[in-house]
Amino acid sequence: MPPKIEFCMKALEAYNLKKSFSRNKQIVTAVKDVSLTIEPGEILAFLGPNGAGKTTSIKMMAGLIQPDAGSVRIMGKDPHRNAAALQNLGAVLEGNRNLYWRLTPEENLEYFGVLKGLTRREARLSGKELLTRFNLLAKRRTPVQQLSRGMQQKLAFAVALVHRPQLLLLDEPTLGLDVEATEDVKILVREIAAAGCAILLTTHQLQIAEILSDRIAIIQKGEILAEAPTQKLIQQFSGTTYKIEMQAALDEARILELEKIGLEIEARRIIYVDRTELLYKAFTILQSLPIQAVLKEQANLTEIFLQIVKQGNNLND
Amino acid sequence: MIELFLAELKRNWILQRRYPIEVVGIVIITVSIFYGLFLSARYVAGANFQLGDRLDSIVIGYVLWSLVLFIMGNIASILQYEAQTGTLEQLFLSQFGAVKVFLIRALASVTLQLIFVLTILLAILLLTGSRLNFPPALLLPLIAVLMGANGIAFTIGALALLFKQVNQLQVIFQFGLLFVLATPTETWTGFVQVLANILPIAPSAGILRALMARGESLNLTQLAIAFINGVVYFALGLGLFRLAERQAKKRGVLGGY
């Protein structure tokens, strides 16, 4: 029997996308070179400052903007040449504005389900399932305009998922939501990815990107500056500084010994160790004293983002 | 496709039923404008006001004009509205493709709007005392009218896709069409007769006036001209819409407003 070859098709493949627009008789390059791939079930946070080219890139991936160069495949099909590719795509492009506000949630789900190729019966069934899952069943007959912002956003997700796509594009999904609604959206995004749907997410809320994403891509001035698994990127930008917090104040002799090997001490209780090899020397000096905590300095995504964008600016200048 | 048509029909029906004042308002305004003009003409003419089948012809022209305005609104106005509300891009994300979606949408809307137009027609007949014939043959030129009207609607829709704000242009089209539909172009002779056959919807409007106002029988040559006219404008509209879609995707202006 021949060996079984596991073939896993990528949910999204975008290679060398380029796009320039003519604005006021000037050519403006919105996207210089963007390549991204996403595996099924993966969440990719696509980050960048305003005007970096995120939305243009996403719309090229969705087939809504024709790229000047490059190629896009959604589950192996080109959305610019083959409309069937759109069957595997769901998108919430501008918050909750992809809904008919005069229709109810179940009417929106039925209509958009049929628009995505389902029969009305299939759309109704899938819609009901999503309304239950998203805790919106009680509001299924309330016109969208009377729903809260959070509910509208959850419904926008449901509408994008009604035809069970393999790829979901989310442009600023938590923009303008309160804390509770943001938490709901975070849970939903995780659940959707866990069910095998690939998610491309843009957000300015970097904490959300850090918590939700498996991988991060940072774009600036139309170019991807960094792309890596989220944890790897954080590790990469995290320093090697450790912080040792003592339970009680240190005596003068130990402080002198610690300073002798080049460590910094703050308020007689906190010791900063900037190299891993010094950590164990410090432990030897501190032997038998009660330690409150040993912490490794961890960069957060906001610092990483700002650092990368700053480096990108310096390179461009 | 049938599923999409039924879904569009349902969406349209729900919107009309949920907001009936808008529909009733449009019907009342359309009837009132005609009745106002009718009363003014009667006042000017004095006691000897007798229009006969000329009144019937004017009624047909006016009602056809309101039907065409509804159809234009279906595509051009709604397209501008949906670009503002953000649902437009979702329509372009359908696997059916934008042209089919808008075509089915137009068909579903026309089905309902024929009911409103019939209401307008009956109200005008009641108020003015005009009497029209309704032979089954009128369905044939009516199909040609619908094709031509949709062709114009898709043309304006194409411009709306690219330039977003086309309200002024729409108004110019509306008054231009009032001239074309209310004028008895079927009575023109010589060179202008050729022009009458080229103007959008004019040949089918002429046949409807002959059938419904003057009680004449169906002229097959005229019907063939009306169909060619309708098909040409319809194909032109669809072609321009497809071109505009490609251009809008190139320029990145599909959803922006």
Confirm or reject contact between A103 and chain B (CB < 8 A): yes
Q: What is the pLDDT of residues B128-146, one digit of tens each?
A: 877 777 888 888 989 999 9
**In terms of CA atoms, which chain A residue is nearest residue B246?**
A66
Q: Nearest 5°: phi and psi at A157?
A: -65, -45
Q: Between β-strands A291-296 and A242-246, what pairing exists: parallel, antiparallel or unpaired? A: antiparallel
Predicted TM-score (pTM) of the model is 0.81
Q: Identify the pLDDT of residue B74.
A: 74
Q: A152: Cβ–Cβ under 8 A, 6 or more apart, which residues? A: A96, A99, A144
Q: Among A22, A87, A114, A169, which would you mutate to test the B interface (most chain B Cβ atoms within 10 Å of its Cβ)?
A: A114
Nearest C-alpha neighbor of B72 from the set B154, B168, B15, B147: B154
**In terms of CA atoms, which chain A residue is nearest residue B102?**
A115
B190 Rama class: left (phi>0) / alpha (psi -120 to 50) / beta: left
Number of cross-chain residue pairs from A and B with Cβ atoms under 8 Å apart: 98
Q: Nearest 5°: phi and psi at B96?
A: -70, -25
Q: How far apart are CA A291 and CA B221, in angstroms?
A: 102
Confirm or reject contact between B37 and chain A (CB < 8 A): no
- Residues from chain A that touch B94, judged by Cβ atoms under 8 A, are 83, 86, 115-117
Query: What is the ipTM score, two decimals?
Result: 0.84
- In chain A, the N- to C-terminal Cα span, in Å, equals 60
- Contact map slice: A 150-189 vs B, CB within 8 A: 159
Tens digits of pLDDT across chain A (317 residues): 444 444 568 999 999 999 998 877 888 888 999 999 999 999 999 988 888 888 899 999 999 999 999 999 999 899 998 888 899 999 888 655 689 988 999 999 999 999 999 999 999 999 998 899 888 889 999 999 999 888 888 898 889 889 989 999 998 888 777 787 788 888 888 988 998 899 999 888 888 888 888 998 988 888 888 888 888 877 777 777 788 999 999 999 999 999 998 888 888 999 988 888 888 899 999 988 999 998 877 767 777 778 777 777 766 65
Residue B7 CB: number of other CB atoms within 10 A? 24
- The DSSP call for residue B211 is I
CA A243-A245-A247 angle, 5° bins: 170
B178 or A215: whose pLDDT is higher? Answer: A215
Element (H, E) at A227: strand A223-229
CB-based contact A120 B7, cutoff 8 Å: yes
Q: Among A20, A24, A64, which would you mutate to test the B interface (most chain B Cβ atoms within 10 Å of its Cβ)?
A: A64
Q: Nearest 5°: phi and psi at A92?
A: -115, 95
- Residues from chain B that touch A103, judged by Cβ atoms under 8 A, are 11, 14-15
Q: Among B1, B93, B100, which would you mutate to test the A interface (most chain A Cβ atoms within 10 Å of its Cβ)?
A: B93
Q: How far apart are CA B52 and CA A282, in angstroms?
A: 110
Q: How far apart are CA A293 and CA A130, in angstroms?
A: 45
Q: Identify the pLDDT of residue A2.
A: 47
Find the radius of gyration of the CA atoms of chain B: 19
Confirm or reject contact between B100 and chain A (CB < 8 A): no
Q: Identify the pLDDT of residue B226.
A: 92
Alpha carbon of B96: minimum distance to chain A alpha carbons (Å): 7
Q: How far apart are CA A150 and CA A32, in angstroms?
A: 35
Q: Identify the pLDDT of residue A276.
A: 80
Q: Identify the pLDDT of residue A17.
A: 93
Confirm or reject contact between A91 and chain B (CB < 8 A): yes
Q: Identify the pLDDT of residue A277.
A: 82
Q: How far apart are CA A31 and CA A112, in angstroms?
A: 30
Mean pLDDT (whole number) for B176-202: 83
Q: Identify the pLDDT of residue B240.
A: 94
Alpha helices for chain B (secondary structure H): 2-18, 20-45, 53-72, 78-85, 88-92, 98-128, 139-163, 167-182, 191-198, 202-208, 220-251
Buried b (16+ CB within 10 A) or exposed e, B211-239: bbbeeeeebeebbebbbebbeebbebbbe
Contact predicate A31/A53, CB 8 Å: yes
Query: Which of A50-64, A299-313, B165-179, B234-248 has the weakest average pLDDT?
Result: A299-313
Confirm or reject contact between A82 and chain B (CB < 8 A): no
Alpha carbon of B112: minimum distance to chain A alpha carbons (Å): 18
**In terms of CA atoms, which chain B residue is nearest residue A18?**
B250
Give the dihedral of Cα atoms B194, B200, B203, B205; nearest 10 deg.
-150
- Residues from chain A that touch B10, judged by Cβ atoms under 8 A, are 107, 110-111
